[in-house]
Chain A
Amino acid sequence: MELRGTKLSNDEFLNKVLSVTYYPELDYAWATGVAITKFLNGLKEGVIYGTKCNECSRVVCPPRMFCEECHTPMNEYVELPQTGIINTFSLAYIRTDATRRDKAEIPAVIDIDGTTISPSGFLHLINEDTPHDKVKVNAKVKAVWKSPEERKGDITDIKYFDIMED
């Protein structure tokens, strides 16, 4: 298709058109707070915590200090199983910088067993070596952890979730 306007080469665009360049350096260190600190410390120990609302009885994971539905405190922490089901997933062939991956990353929202709402919002990864025809909505999954020495109280302390064989 014939495009209108004046065509610029890459060199012209980057080097010949006068521009001002500025690289911001922005560093943040967000305090994790009461609920997420409990959650992350749990991951370090190989435990998945959720919280229960005493008003509406929902159990959510990751834990929250307050229930967004009732706007009341949520301070009953419960240890949850390390299994769940895939609520939704994607086979992602593109990185944040728009370069292409040869092997798909598999982000998934996982409903941890014992939580009472769906989707419970636990965003994580499915093992990318899993044959793609095995990755299905409602498939049962299990957490695969880093070794205790490698864990540092981070969501990546769980390496990924593996599909459980029936």
Chain B
Amino acid sequence: MQLTGESMEKVAIIGVGVEGFRPEIRDLSYKEMVYQAAVKAYSDADINPREEVDTFISCEEDFSMGTSITDEYAPDQLGAAQRTVHTITGDGIQGIVAAYMQIKTGMFDVAVVEAQSRSSDIKTHNQIQHLAFDPLYARQFDAIYHSAGALEKRMYTSEFGVSEEAIANVVIKNHENALRNPNAAYGMRLKEFDVLEAEMVASPLRDTEISSSVDGSIVVVLANEKVVKEKDSNPVWIKGINYATNSPNFDTREWKKAKYAELSAKKAYQMAGIKNPHDEIDVFEVDDTYAFKELQHLEGLGLFEYGKAAEALMNGEFSNKGSTPVNVSGGVLGMGNAHDANGLQRISEIVEQLRGHAGRRQVKGAKTGLAFSWRGVPTTAGAVAILSKE
């Protein structure tokens, strides 16, 4: 299978706009919130959406938006009325993959991807999560939602001997990092006992290990090399990108390892020509919807043997001054769980870092970065993007 696509044009991210993230955005409607992010992205990219964008992709789910065929309401706020638009019912990085491929065909020069979270519009969020379970079997049990995360955590920690202290330190690090990120909703300073003595939601998963929902929106502008040369933009190139789903069923899924991370990363590394991700990539943004997932995902991405990420964390390697900076943005724990927009949260931080615009969070000399998203329980779906300044 040809994965490199060397004969075709390169694709860059040339603009990013973020509105939020905040626990609740009640002063703007969902359309108005996305409009604000879109205006910022188009200004960043130096692009007029009514004349210069060839294809628009929104990432949203009908249940989350509360509207059937919700893609019908995506165009106006993006400047996409009467234009080429479609929706992906998935994570923002899956949307980036679609935009990347559309530009690669040669049919489109400029593509726009949007994802949003409007958790505060949903009064029964747990019900929506519950509806993600298989209706014939798993959905019959009531306490299944965070329990599924708890079942995974127990399998992972007991198989690989990962301590509760290490997991608590993921929580501490990411909330502390969020204090330096103006787009993060949940910056705070915690101590180990704040995390470990919190209420058990579903043992061994504590309340503090579970990311809290937020409202917010991200719009990303992508372009081919021709447009990058014409525009006064600050491009970050997509070097490798992929996504994968393991079997999601409780009877057949892989419980201990993040197989979806392994599968998607393998192909993205191959595409980017990366042999040793730990040494060749400078900054990492990986899903930490549940705190233990940060460690498990880094291992699935091939940075460490399973069970070994905890030691690197405890040695301080994941701080923004460490050898392997992880979730310097605050991650999902610190920025807030934006559900389908989580992948674009990760992308936006990598873009900031590679442009050298991350302020006090800046990782010195960052040239290559990796963004990884997971779609949350009960899914076994992940997506990887490897971005580079060169």
Q: Which residues of A contact B (CB under 8 A)?
A: 20, 22, 24-36, 64-66, 68-71
Contact = CB atoms under 8 A, between A and B. Distances in A.
B32 A34 contact: yes
Contacts of A71: 38-39, 42, 48-50, 79
Given A34-B28, A65-B32, A24 B131 contact: yes
A127 to B, nearest CB: 29
Interface in B104-141: 118, 120-124, 127-128, 131, 135-136, 139-140
B28 A24 contact: no
Contacts of B39: 71
Interface string B15-59: 000000000011111111101001100100000111000000000
B73 to A, nearest CB: 11
B63 interface: yes
Given A31-B121, A66-B32, A69-B81, 4 more contacts: A29-B123, A30-B66, A64-B76, A68-B76
Contacts of A29: 120-121, 123
Contacts of A65: 28-29, 31-32, 35
A69 B81 CA distance: 7
Contacts of A32: 29
Contact of A70 (B50, B63, B77): B50
B92 interface: no
B75 interface: yes
B35 A66 contact: yes
Contacts, number: 79
Given A20-B136, A65-B35, A69-B50, A26 B124 contact: yes
Nearest to B131: A24
Interface centre among B76, B118, B139 (most CB of A within 10 A): B76
A27 B123 contact: yes
A66 B32 CA distance: 8
Interface in B251-281: none
B136 A26 contact: no
A26 B77 contact: no
A24 B123 CA distance: 13
Contacts of B31: 33, 65
Contacts of A68: 75-77, 79, 81
B27 A34 contact: yes
A66 B77 contact: yes
Contacts of A69: 50, 81
A3 to B, nearest CB: 28
Contacts of B28: 31, 33-34, 65
A20 B135 contact: yes
Contact of B121 (A22, A28, A35, A64): A28
A30 B63 contact: no
A26 B66 CA distance: 8
A69 B77 CA distance: 10
Contacts of B140: 20, 22
A34 B77 contact: no
A103 B268 CA distance: 62
A68 B85 CA distance: 14
B124 A27 contact: yes
B142 to A, nearest CB: 11
B63 A26 contact: yes
B306 to A, nearest CB: 36
Contacts of B38: 71
Contacts of A28: 66, 121-123
A6 B16 CA distance: 58
A27 B31 CA distance: 19
Return the 4 tightest CB-CB contacts between A and B, nearest first. A33-B29, A68-B76, A71-B79, A27-B123
B81 A31 contact: no
Contacts of A35: 29, 32
Nearest to B63: A26
Contact of A36 (B25, B29, B63, B124): B29
B236 to A, nearest CB: 24
Contacts of B42: 71
A65 B28 CA distance: 10
17 contacts: A20-B135, A20-B136, A22-B135, A24-B127, A25-B124, A28-B122, A29-B121, A30-B66, A33-B27, A33-B29, A33-B30, A33-B31, A33-B32, A34-B27, A65-B29, A65-B31, A71-B39
